[in-house]
Amino acid sequence: MRTGPVIPVLIVEDVPQARPLAQALVKGGIRVLEVTLRTPAALDVIREMKTVDGAIVGAGTVVTTDQFEQVMDAGAEFIVSPGLSETLARPIIDSGVPFLPGVATAGDIMRGLDLGLEHFKFFPAETSGGLKALKALAAPFYQAKFCPTGGISLTSAPEWLAFEPVLCVGGSWLASGSPDAVEAKAREAAALAA
């Protein structure tokens, strides 16, 4: 979460797109890449992106323990889930791989803290009340750090990142267009850390 200000949320349909996309993002200064399990190609996309020097490739939209095992076999370096269940969290925590579970309520955060977690994905960020809601949720949980995802844009990212408990944001806007366009977007996003 501290490696860069934006984690691109990547939905990649075709494996041949994976390497050029990862290269463009890394060249633009965005190294942490979340490949969502929303397409049949996702596991092969993770494997392909892992071949790009400098890329830190993880799996997103992990919702079952079977998926967790599959993405680990594919070489995922971190796990992101849209929600938090003990059934999924326990084996991930036990494995030692970085885990970013989705939370949207105080109860979600409390369950995560009970499991020994302090880093969370606030999801879906905008439809869960936006920054105002996260500020209210974060107040009683001083130890928690967040990566808001869901409706975040280049325009709104700086406001989110200005809130101290937010270490980074997730966004899908980085992944569209030609490799040159993706690299340019990545440079803009990487500059948000400055």
| Residues recognised as catalytic | 34, 121
| Residue 82: count of CB within 10 angstroms of its CB | 18
Q: Measuring CA to CA, which residue among 189, 129, 136, 134 is closest to residue 166?
A: 134
Q: Which helix (H) or strand (E) holds 72?
A: helix 65-73
CB 119 within 8 A of CB 100: yes
* Helix runs in 74-190, H state only: 86-95, 106-114, 130-138, 157-161, 179-190
